[in-house]
Amino acid sequence: MLSHSRCLTRNFGRSLSAIRQGNNVLARRATAALSASHSITFNNTVKSDPRSSIFQIQYFRTSVAYRDEVVTVKTPAFAESVTEGDVRWEKAVGDSVSEDEVVCEIETDKTSVQVPSPAAGVIEELLIPDGGKVEGGTPLFKLRKGAGAPKAAEPPKAEAPAAEAPPPPSAAPPPPPPPSAVGPIPTTMPPVPPVPAHAMDTKPVSAIKPTAAPAAPVAQAEGGAKGARTESRVKMNRMRLRIAQRLKEAQNTCAMLTTFNEVDMSNISEMRKAYKDAFLKKHNIKLGFMSAFVKAAAYALSDQPAVNAVIDDTTKEIVYRDYVDISVAVATPKGLVVPVIRNVEGMNFADIEKAINLLGEKARKNELAVEDMDGGTFTISNGGVFGSMFGTPIINPPQSAILGMHGIFDRPVAVGGKVEIRPMMYVALTYDHRLIDGREAVTFLRKIKSVVEDPRVLLLDM
């Protein structure tokens, strides 16, 4: 009798909690389990059946409670240095998305943050307009979970265009006949698949493009006849605005001065040519010139710590660093980014090449995080990849100096009293004259020149 009363209490409590939650189906299942357990207890077979009824209740509750659930997706948390961003939608209301598919992109001052869908489903509502500003934790959109939702939404779209066309109306009213109609008319099958695709594509755009499309040919025809000129205006994105602001800050704050030198690339080119295959085979990455300049810069920064230092304008102090974090400028379609290679002083050529390749891939795929660009004690900008011959880079605040690399061109130079054609590169160092004197700047640039022209200097620590 004691076990009988315990079983009744347990099952009766579960049925009450189910009724309170408003789950009628669950309540009926719990009540059935209650009566079943009562009769079974009377027959002294309590230890197996009540547990099975409990498991049935738990499973049924999970399947009912989360069917067609609508969730609100919020803006992910930003880094400490980022407070807000602009939303750029890649999906519209009614679009079906798969799990981890990108729904929108948030442009911040430093990078773009992609917001993926947490589950497969259909977008119910966009809570922020395109271009709207958001902060961390701001609700972005509502998503109806479940793979069945997008399938149910598609048939109405297919019926709408069928009703609009003049010939199909007679075939559209009866839904059952289509299977039989498919047999006698095989020629109509190929056009059918594109119909839903066009309907989905034209739905978001039909309100804008159809009116502009007919006007465009007329305008072009008139423009061709009269020779009219046009112009367009594009709003600056947040990253471009931030780049402009930081460059202007550097110009207004730093006392910038640039010193130049030229580097004979003969030895480093021969070393690369001799060992590039073996280097690729061992490290699975190509040997480039950038690693030589990054390593040379780290060597020169340790020799001239003032170039690696920075002025703290709030406390009026000079901050000297005993580590070297080099920012490498990378051009992307959205603007210039400067990911950071950290602790370069302890890296070899292979480590530097791997770090540059990894950061470059992330920048091209727009996957750089704010943490990848925070910090940095010195910057290297390589305009030579675009064919630049000469230029003066601008300091990347709050740093105190930047090295500008340029293109390699064959030029006549005097070598041992004779004129020879050598591959030469101009290099430029822009520095903050408030902190770095001309002696340190010139010595720093000559140190880089000596290391690149003869890498054996690194081995001999000269």
Q: Strand 378-382 relative to strand 401-415: parallel, antiparallel, unpaired?
A: parallel
Residue of 215, 205, 248 whose CA lies nearest to 397: 248
Cα 166 from Cα 186, distance rounded (Å): 20
3-class secondary-structure state, position 304: coil
Cα distances (Å, whole numbers) of residue 299 to 162, 328, 423, 449: 72, 16, 23, 11
Q: Is the Cβ–Cβ distance between 82 and 135 less than 8 Å? A: no
Task: Please identify which of the residues 303, 433, 454, 461 carries the catalytic annotation.
Answer: 433
3-class secondary-structure state, position 438: helix
Cα 301 from Cα 392, distance rounded (Å): 20
Alpha helices by DSSP H, listed for 120-257, are 148-164, 178-182, 194-205, 209-226, 238-253
Residue of 254, 252, 261 whose CA lies nearest to 400: 254
**Cα angle 309-314-315, degrees, rounded to a multiple of 5:** 70
**Amino acid at residue number 429:** L
Task: Please identify which of the residues 351, 437, 454, 461 carries the catalytic annotation.
Answer: 437
Residue of 343, 243, 245 whose CA lies nearest to 301: 343
Examine the residue annotation and report whether 109 is marked as an active-site residue of this protein: no
Examine the residue annotation and report whether 437 is marked as an active-site residue of this protein: yes
3-class secondary-structure state, position 126: strand
Would you please indicate which residues are annotated as catalytic (active-site) residues?
Answer: 433, 437
